[in-house]
Structures are given as structure tokens and as C-alpha cells.
Amino acid sequence: MKTRITPAFREEAERFRLVFTCENCAHFDPESAGCGNGYPTEPHHRVDLVTRSELEFCKTFELA
Ligand code: SF4
């Protein structure tokens, strides 16, 4: 699911300490820096909310 990164979203993500990226996902394999489910990680890994204008949430994200 794609969503725009707005100033309000940046503020809420910081305030509520939202996590949604691969490095916080139970399916992430740190050794290979890949997804244990075989999905591409580029859209969800180390997302920089400051420089990006759009975020692609992974539907199979599970909090580690
Ligand atoms: S399931 Fe999604 S969020 Fe989790 S590691 Fe794989 S691609 Fe990343």
C-alpha cells in the first residue's frame, strides 16, 4: 500500500515511534539483508522519511 509522506505523517511517526520497515520486521534476515519470504526489500528497507515523498507499506510486515 502506497501513501504520501506528509509533514503530519513525519511528525506522527516520530511522536508515536512508528516502525514499519524491513529492519523491524520479523521476516527480515539480517545476515542476507533480505526478506525471509522472498519479497523485494528495496521499497521497505531503511526508509528515510525526510528524503522520501512516498512510502510503500509491506502488507506482510510483522513487528519483530
Ligand atoms: S515481509 Fe515485508 S517488511 Fe517484512 S522483511 Fe519482507 S519485505 Fe520487508
Residue with cell 506528509: 6
* Pocket-forming residues, ligand 1, beta carbon under 6 Å: 22, 25, 27-28, 35, 37, 39, 41, 44, 58, 60-61
Domain assignments of the chain as residue spans, ordered by start: 2-56
For 3-61, how does the pLDDT look when each residue is reduced to its tens digit (9 = 90+)? Answer: 999 999 999 999 999 999 999 999 999 999 999 999 999 999 999 999 999 999 999 99
- 15 CA distance to ligand 1 middle (Å): 23
Backbone phi, then psi, for 32, in 5-degree steps?
-95, -10
Pull the grid cell for residue 25: 520486521
The ligand 1 atom at the shortest distance from the C-alpha of residue 41 is 7
Residue 23 in 3-state DSSP? helix
Specify the pLDDT at position 1: 86
Atom of ligand 1 nearest to the CA of 45: 8
